[in-house]
Copies of this chain bind each other. A is one copy, B any other.
Amino acid sequence: MILQLDPANAVPLYRQIRDQIRQLITSGALAVGDRLPPSRELAQRLGVHRTTVANAYADLTADGWIAGHVGRGTFVAESPQAAKPVHPESRAAGRGTAHPSYTATLENGYLWSTLFADQPADDPLDFLMADVTAAADRRVISFTTARPADELFPVEEFRRATSDVVRRDGRTLLQLGPSDGYPPLKEFLRQELAREGIQAGDRELLITNGCQQALDLVRKVFLRPGDNVLLENPVYPGAIQTFNGGGVRCLGVPVTEKGVNLEALETLLNQQRVRLLLLTPSFHNPTGTTLSLDARKRVLELAARHQVPVVEDNIYSALRLRGRELPPLKALDTHGLVVHLDSFSKVCFPGLRVGWLVASEPVIERLRVAKQATDLHTDQLAQAALAEFCRRGLLTKLIKRARTLYRGRLERLEAALAAHFPEGVTWTRPEGGMSLWVTLPAGLDAGALLYKARERQVLFAPGRFFYFQGTQPNTLRLSFPCVKEKQIEQGIEVLGGLIKSELRQRRPAERETRRRARVALV
Contacts and interface: CB of A to CB of B under 8 A. Distances in A.
Contacts of A257: none
B120 A369 contact: yes
B179 A153 contact: no
A273 B159 CA distance: 53
Interface in A335-393: 335-337, 345, 348-354, 360-363, 365-366, 369, 372-382, 385
B163 A175 contact: no
A147 to B, nearest CB: 5
A51 interface: yes
A178 B136 CA distance: 12
Q: How many copies does the complex hold?
A: 2
A115 B222 contact: yes
A94 B210 contact: no
Contacts of A132: 175-178
A103 to B, nearest CB: 6
Nearest to A209: B375
A210 B375 CA distance: 7
Contacts of A51: 365, 369
Specify which of A115, A125, A335, A351 lies most central, judged by the most chain B CB atoms within 10 Å of its CB: A351
Contacts of A238: 373, 376
B162 A166 contact: yes
B213 A374 contact: yes
15 contacts: A51-B369, A96-B307, A98-B306, A103-B304, A116-B222, A117-B221, A118-B224, A120-B369, A125-B372, A150-B174, A150-B175, A175-B351, A177-B351, A209-B379, A353-B379
A173 interface: yes
Interface of A: 51, 54, 58, 94-98, 102-103, 106-107, 109-110, 112-113, 115-118, 120, 123, 125-126, 129, 132-133, 145, 147-148, 150, 153, 155-156, 158-159, 162-163, 166-167, 170-179, 208-210, 212-213, 216, 220-225, 227, 238, 241-242, 273-275, 304-309, 334-337, 345, 348-354, 360-363, 365-366, 369, 372-382, 385
A171 B155 contact: yes
A520 B109 CA distance: 65
A176 B351 contact: yes
A379 B155 CA distance: 16
A24 B178 CA distance: 35
A210 B376 contact: yes
B216 A373 contact: yes
Contacts of A120: 366, 369
A220 B242 CA distance: 11
A380 B379 CA distance: 10
Nearest to A247: B225
A393 B377 CA distance: 27
B175 A372 contact: no
Given A223-B117, A335-B106, A153 B171 contact: yes
A54 B362 contact: yes
Contacts of A220: 117
Contacts of A350: 174-176, 376
A101 to B, nearest CB: 11
A234 B55 CA distance: 38
A106 B353 contact: no
Contacts of A372: 123, 125-126, 129, 241
A148 B175 CA distance: 8
A336 B360 CA distance: 46
A371 to B, nearest CB: 10
A35 to B, nearest CB: 19
Contacts of A54: 362, 365
Contacts of A97: 307
B362 A113 contact: yes
Contact of A174 (B153, B222, B336): B153
Contacts of A163: 159, 162-163
Contacts of A307: 94-98, 102-103, 106, 115
Contacts of A349: 174-175
